[in-house]
Amino acid sequence: MKIDIPKPALTAIKLIEANNHEAYIVGGFVRDNLLGIKSNDCDITSSARPEEILNIFKDFKCYKTGIKHGTVLVIIDDSPLEITTYRIENEYKDFRHPSSVTYVNDLKSDLARRDFTINAFAYHPDKGVIDYFDGFADLENNLIRCINDPYQRFTEDALRILRALRFSSTYDFQIDKETKKAIIENYELLANISQERITEEWLKTLSGKNAKKIILEYQDLWLFLFHELLSYHEEWVDQLGKSLYEQCSDIEIKVAVFLYVMYRNDIKKFDCLLNRLRLKRKMIMNIKTILSLSTFEIGNRVDIKKRLKYVDESLLIKVIRFKFVLNMMDSKTMEDIIDTIHSITSSNEVYKPSHLAIKGNEVMENFKIDNSKIKDILDFLLDKVIEGSITNNKKELLSYAKMIIDDKVLKI
pLDDT tier for residue 67 given thresholds of 50, 70 and 90: very high
- Average pLDDT for 99-117: 95
pLDDT tier for residue 295 given thresholds of 50, 70 and 90: confident
Confidence at residue 219, expressed as pLDDT on a 0 to 100 scale = 82
- Average pLDDT for 27-46: 93
The residue among 132 and 297 whose pLDDT is bigger is 132
- Average pLDDT for 221-249: 67
Residue ranges per structural domain of the chain: 1-140, 142-207, 226-343, 353-406
Report yes or no: 285 and 254 within 8 Å, Cβ to Cβ.
no
The yes-or-no verdict on residue 338 having pLDDT over 70 is yes
- Average pLDDT for 299-318: 93
CA-to-CA distance for 149 and 157, rounded, in angstroms?
Answer: 13
Confidence at residue 303, expressed as pLDDT on a 0 to 100 scale = 92
The residue among 1 and 207 whose pLDDT is bigger is 207
The yes-or-no verdict on residue 231 having pLDDT over 60 is no
pLDDT tier for residue 236 given thresholds of 50, 70 and 90: low
pTM attached to this predicted model: 0.85
Task: Calculate what percentage of the chain has a pLDDT beyond 70.
Answer: 92
Confidence at residue 398, expressed as pLDDT on a 0 to 100 scale = 92
Confidence at residue 365, expressed as pLDDT on a 0 to 100 scale = 85
Point out the least confidently predicted range of 89-98, 253-262, 349-358. Answer: 253-262
Confidence at residue 317, expressed as pLDDT on a 0 to 100 scale = 95
- Average pLDDT for 151-161: 96
Point out the least confidently predicted range of 45-59, 191-205, 208-222. Answer: 208-222
Point out the least confidently predicted range of 151-165, 292-306, 339-353. Answer: 292-306
Confidence at residue 373, expressed as pLDDT on a 0 to 100 scale = 82
The yes-or-no verdict on residue 249 having pLDDT over 80 is no
Q: Give the chain's radius of gyration (CA, Å).
A: 28
Nearest to 211 by CA among 271, 159, 151, 251: 251
As a CATH number, domain 142-207 is 1.10.110.30
Point out the least confidently predicted range of 1-15, 30-44, 269-283, 337-351. Answer: 269-283
The yes-or-no verdict on residue 5 having pLDDT over 80 is yes
The yes-or-no verdict on residue 201 having pLDDT over 90 is yes
Q: What is the assigned CATH class of domain 1-140?
A: alpha beta
The mean pLDDT of the chain is: 90
